[in-house]
Amino acid sequence: MGYFKDTLKGISWIGSLRGITRLVTFIKLAILARILTPLDFGLFGIAALVLAFLEIITETGINIFMLQQKEKWEEFVNTAWVVSIVRGVLMGLIILALSPFISGFFRSQNVVNLLYLTSLIPVIRGFINPANIRFQKDLEFKKEFNFRLVLTLIEFLAASFLAFTLRSPESLILAMIFSAFTEVILSFVLIKPRPKFAYKASRVSEIIHQGKWVTGYSIFSYILTQGDDIAVGKILGASPLGIYQNAYKISTLPMLEAHDVILRVTFPIYTKLQENPARLKEAVKKQILFTLIFSLIIGLILFLFSEQIVLIILGPTWLSAAPIVKVLAFLGTIRGISYSFNSLFLALKKQKYVTYITFVGVVALLVTLFPLIRSFGMVGAAVSELVSSSIALPFAIYYMIKTFRNL
C-alpha cells in the first residue's frame, strides 16, 4: 500500500502543478495572442524549434540515468554538472554559427537577431544543479510543486510585462532567459548536494552509454512532434507556423501534460517495484486505464468545441486555427495511450522499445507530411501527425504485451 499512497500523493501534487502550469500557460497565451501577431509567434517558433533540436541531439540521458540508479546517485552529480555545462556552451555556439543558415532555410531575415538572443538560453541552463532530480528520486513531490510553480509564475510575469513593453518576439526569449537564471539560482540555494566543477571520465562514459537509447528516442520524438512545424514554416511561412503551433498547443497540451505527470510519478515508483512483478503489473494496468478514460474525455471536448476554445484562448483573429484543433483533438489521446507505457519501459531499462516505437511514427510522418501539406496546408500537417501516431500505436501495444509476459 505504501507505493500506492505514494503514487496518489505524487499524482495529486504533480497533477496540481501541471494543472496550474497549464492554466498559467493558457492565460499567458490568451494575453500574448492579443498583443503579438501570428508572425511574431512564428518567428519565436523558429527559434524554439532550433533550441529544441539542439537540446535533443545533444541529449545525454543524465536525469534518467541517475533516476535508474538504486543507490549512490549523488556520486554522479559533479560529473553530470560538468557535462551539462559543456553541452550548454556547445549548443550556444552552434546556434550562433548556424543563425544565418537557419534564417535562409526559413526565408526570414528577421529571425537572425532572435537566434543570437536564444543562444544564451542553453548556456545558462547548463549551470542548473543536476541534483534537482532528488525531488523525483526521493518522491518529494510537494517540494517539486513549490519549486516549479515559482519558476512558472516568474516566466509568466516576465513574458507578459516584456510583451506589453516591447511588443516583439524578443520578449518571449528574454522571459525564458530570466526564468533560466532564476532556476540556476534556486537550484543551488534550495537543493543539495551542490555540484563542484569536477568529473570522472569513467562516469561520463557510463552515463553516455546508458543514455544512448534515450538520445535516439529524443531525436525521433523531436522529428515526430516538431517535424510538422519545420515543414509548415518552410513551405507555408512564419505566420502560418505561428497559427499552427498555437493550435497544436491547445490540442495536445492537456493530454501530454497529464502524461508527463504520470511519467514523473510512476517512473521512480516502478523502478522500486520492479522486484515485485505482481504489484508492478497491477500498478501499470491502473495507470493505463486512467490514461485511456482521461484522454478520451479530453479528445471529445476538443473535437466538439474546437471553435469556441480557440475564440476563448486566442481570440477571433485566430479562428483559422479551429480546423487544426479539430483534426488534432484525438492526437493527444492516441499519444497519451502510447506514452503511458514509457514509464514502465524506462523503469525496466528498456529504452530501446521507446526508440523503436517512435521510429515507426517518424517514418510514417515523413512519408505523409509533405504531400499532405502541399495539398491541404496546415490541416494536412495535422492529418499527417494523426496518421503517424495511429500507425505507431500497435507497435507500442506489442512491446507492452511482450514486457508483461517477461515480468
At 63-101, the pLDDT tens digits run 555 555 555 666 677 888 888 898 899 999 999 999 999
The per-residue pLDDT of the chain, averaged, comes to: 81
**pTM value?**
0.71
At 378-400, the pLDDT tens digits run 999 999 999 998 999 999 889 98
Query: How far is 77 from 70, CA to CA, in rounded Å?
Result: 15
* Residue the block writes with cell 515543414: 231
Tell me how far apart the terminal alpha carbons of the chain are, to the nearest angstrom: 20
* pLDDT exceeds 80 at position 227: yes
Question: Would you say the C-alpha torsion 288, 293, 295, 296 has a positive or negative sign?
Answer: positive
Radius of gyration (Cα) for the chain, nearest Å?
21
Domain of residue 286 covers 2-406
Query: How far is 336 from 296, CA to CA, in rounded Å?
Result: 10
| The total number of structural domains that make up the chain | 1
Q: Verify cis geometry, omega within 30 degrees of 0, for the bond prior to 193.
A: yes
Query: How far is 351 from 362, CA to CA, in rounded Å?
Result: 17
* pLDDT exceeds 70 at position 285: yes
Contact 38, 239 (CB under 8 A): yes
